Structure 1
């Protein structure tokens, strides 16, 4: 039996457009989309969720018996959480530009991209031999980090991977290594 890990990015939230997330709930119209997605997942052996509101709301629609895993949390945006990107661009243009280009830079007091990559790489490692199908509801940034870890890509590739809400990253393991089987929006246009 192979190990299957399906990363699902939670649905869109009520956050203001073009703002750094701040633990908002799902947008009401996302719930129907998620309900349509659930039958396509089959019956997973386990469901995990980020501690974020939108993630556990999504996980709850997939399974009543999900577990919250803090390692699946989104990148910590520090003092930028909830701020509009345009406001940060206006007040801290150099810091925002450096943060976008340098995986180790942390101008907001939160977590760097390199820190996120290390956290997710460490989270993936013990799951190599975890038999069955795990669904993990998380965030686009976490899915990007997992893809980089699986492919062995450099941290600079982080901004080159476009992951949307309700995207699915399907990973498989033979017990020795992970492989990216597919990336997309399962059953959604």
Structure 2
């Protein structure tokens, strides 16, 4: 049984990541990806989330990455484009539900449990033909993938910190993923 390698690269820093906000489709900060450099070795498949920040990060890394809808960010619904503090003040009960119940989506978007199922399905669908995959994506997607790999599911979501430009390497295959290493980004 062959082992697959998936390297998840978190996109470069944006205004929302720097200010603890719920992002829209925003660009990376001008200085956020300078000198990001490639350094992936042989890559069979380069993928990215469909947002501008993933495209810009992939290009800065020298990757000709194809957009993959399952690598999109968590849909924050009505909270998109707003600051975390603003949402917490306006909807404290909704924020509390969102932080404690993975099935909850008080913002009208996607729940953490739905995100975990989407990302777990994407991870388990990796093809042996793409034994070495690099995917530029969002912090929420990386958190969900780590939770899936460790068998912790969405309950682990808030226990993982994902920095801009960090690289998370998973090895294995469907139902047998292992967290190989995390290289902290510069973000």
TM-score, scaled relative to structure 2: 0.91
Instruction: Quickly say closer, same or farther: Cα 1:136–1:128, change in 2 above 3 A.
Output: same
**Structure 2 CA distance for aligned equivalents of residues 23 and 174 of structure 1:** 31
The correspondence of residues 58-137 of structure 1 with structure 2, limited to 5 A, is: 58-63=57-62, 65-127=64-126, 129-137=128-136
Instruction: Quickly say closer, same or farther: Cα 1:174–1:118, change in 2 above 3 A.
Output: closer
Instruction: Quickly say closer, same or farther: Cα 1:51–1:131, change in 2 above 3 A.
Output: closer
The correspondence of residues 11-90 of structure 1 with structure 2, limited to 5 A, is: 11-15=12-16, 17-35=19-37, 38=38, 40-63=39-62, 65-90=64-89
Unaligned 5+ segments in structure 2 are none
Instruction: Quickly say closer, same or farther: Cα 1:31–1:19, change in 2 above 3 A.
Output: same
Maintained 8 Å contact 2:125/2:174:
no
Deviates more, 1:148-157 or 1:128-137: 128-137
Instruction: Quickly say closer, same or farther: Cα 1:22–1:131, change in 2 above 3 A.
Output: closer
Match for residue 170 of structure 1?
Answer: 169
Q: Which has the higher helix share?
A: 1
**Structure 2 CA distance for aligned equivalents of residues 110 and 29 of structure 1:** 31
Displacement of 1:100 in angstroms is 0.8
Instruction: Quickly say closer, same or farther: Cα 1:93–1:175, change in 2 above 3 A.
Output: closer
**Structure 2 CA distance for aligned equivalents of residues 122 and 47 of structure 1:** 18
Match for residue 3 of structure 1?
Answer: 4
Displacement of 1:64 in angstroms is 5.2
**Structure 2 CA distance for aligned equivalents of residues 162 and 66 of structure 1:** 24
Instruction: Quickly say closer, same or farther: Cα 1:26–1:149, change in 2 above 3 A.
Output: same
3-state DSSP class of the match of 1:31?
A: coil
Unaligned 5+ segments in structure 1 are none
Match for residue 141 of structure 1?
Answer: 140
Runs of 4+ in 1 over 6 A off after TM superposition: none
